[in-house]
Structure 1
Amino acid sequence: MPKLILKIDVDTLRGTREGVPNLVRMLQKHQANATFLFSLGPDHTGWALRRAFRPGFFQKVSRTSVLEHYGLKTLMYGVLLPAPDIGKLCATELRAVRDAGFECGIHTWDHVVWQDNVRNQDAAWTQSLMQRSFDRFKDIFGEAPATHGAAGWQMNPHAFAQLDTFGIRYASDERAALADDGTLLNANAGPHRLSVQGRTLDCIQMPTTLPTLDELLGRTINAHVITTSTIAARILELTKATRDHVYTLHAELEGQKLAPIFDELLTGWRAQGYDLVGMNDYHRALESQTLPVSPTAWGTLPGRSGDLLLQAA
């Protein structure tokens, strides 16, 4: 049975408090599994406004209504309001996800700081932020994490090496390259081990193979504008020819205003014959396999501003 791996990025305090419980209920309704990846330190979402100078940023903002999905208060964190510490304020909510039977892992310490800076940082800076998130995770859950998913699909060689140092067994830090219509450019994209600076790492990478909602909404694909009414059908078209896929969703989107779209996707994927699983389930299926070794590369994806890490062809 093909697997649809559900990876949930939780970026903000609001997403943790409001989006996550909604997603837990929806997944339970559909008897689906998923992996929740948490931001565990300060919420500096307001600092993301500095991205206004990046190519494509305003196009994305106008298409996806950032204010509507994230809320004015969240966009003021770190600007006009102090940045709340998500891990300190929401430890009970995070443990509730684990207690509901879902895998929990690390997304980042500070989402904006990591996404906007890690690419060019040295080992000391990288290890310091990763250690904070690792220690906070252990404080909250009483055990070390098994998995990781990089904020904004941004990493550097020191960060990849640190995953092995921590004993992280599997991660989803990269994307598969996509064509303008969301189809895979490399049919062989999927689980692999990374070759970084001449060393093959132990941590298995599970790249996201489907576009995210914010990358599709408002774009014109095949002469049709993708709207909230048609986006689920577009994604289901991409998964019609069954193969294992990793889908990244966000607590701030699918867990809130765009929840009906996710509900439609879950129903559609079941009808297509997919097993809806978390990263831990997928890892169990991969452990006995000999996986290819691949380098990583920087590139762009349709509908997303800035560079991010792609699985090299």
Structure 2
Amino acid sequence: MGHEVGLHGYDHVKWHDRLNRLSRREIAEQVERAIRIYKGILGVRPESFAGPSWHSTAQSLDLLNQEGFTYSSDTRGVSAFFPETGGVRVPLLQIPTTLPTMDEMLGIDGLDVQGFYKMIISRLRRNLLNVLTVTAR
């Protein structure tokens, strides 16, 4: 039992703010740098990717697929799917985030950390996809 550790990118701000303007080479550099650091820490290649701020483009999805990622989590939703871009199906499975993140919820109606975890547990659904995005800050 345990949990997977996926790749979340190299430069969060650059990906978030400029992904749609980055060249394929620049996207590849971001991904390759992140893979090197991940492998240096964990000793294995990452199998999954989650785009910073849930951002992706046709180029980034194609590149992640070519890099051999099993899936990416660049969306919000309720079930897994294969995205289409420009009418072409991308063979990189998308597994969406299904639950709200802590930073989105803290402070709403006085919600604190303990209350957040209780709320998340109450939203888990048996036999359905339950994906909680957690990032280190």
TM-score, with normalisation over the residues of structure 1?
0.39
Shift of 1:168: 1.0
1:140 and 1:247 mapped to 2: Cα distance?
A: 23
2:36 and 2:105 mapped to 1: Cα distance?
A: 36
RMSD value, Cα: 2.2
1:137 and 1:250 mapped to 2: Cα distance?
A: 15
Higher relative contact order (CA 8 A, sep 6+): 1
Paired positions, count: 136
1:145 and 1:214 mapped to 2: Cα distance?
A: 25
1:232 and 1:245 mapped to 2: Cα distance?
A: 14
Is 1:132 matched up with 2:33? yes
Q: 1:162 aligns with which of 52, 55, 63?
A: 63
Q: Deviation per CA, 1:191-244, whole angstroms, max 9, x where unpaired?
A: 111112222122211111000111111113xxxx322342222222222x4322
Q: 1:227 aligns with which of 109, 112, 118?
A: 112
2:132 alignment partner in structure 1: 247
Q: 1:203 aligns with which of 88, 92, 107?
A: 92
2:44 and 2:132 mapped to 1: Cα distance?
A: 26
Contact 1:115/1:154 (<8 A) preserved: yes
Contact 1:219/1:226 (<8 A) preserved: yes
Shift of 1:122: 3.0
Runs of 4+ residues over 3 Å off in structure 1: 134-144
TM-score, with normalisation over the residues of structure 2?
0.82
Q: Are the structure 2 counterparts of residues 125 and 226 from structure 1 closer, same or farther at C-alpha, using a change threshold of 3 Å?
A: same
Shift of 1:135: 4.2
Q: Are the structure 2 counterparts of residues 219 and 143 from structure 1 closer, same or farther at C-alpha, using a change threshold of 3 Å?
A: closer
Contact 1:191/1:207 (<8 A) preserved: yes
1:258 alignment partner in structure 2: none
| Unaligned 5+ runs, structure 2 | none
2:21 and 2:34 mapped to 1: Cα distance?
A: 19
Q: Deviation per CA, 1:141-175, whole angstroms, max 9, x where unpaired?
A: 55543221112212221101101111111121222
Q: Which has the higher strand share?
A: 1
1:35 alignment partner in structure 2: 4
Q: Are the structure 2 counterparts of residues 236 and 143 from structure 1 closer, same or farther at C-alpha, using a change threshold of 3 Å?
A: closer
2:40 and 2:103 mapped to 1: Cα distance?
A: 33
| Unaligned 5+ runs, structure 1 | 1-31, 38-105, 177-188, 253-313
Greater gyration radius: 1
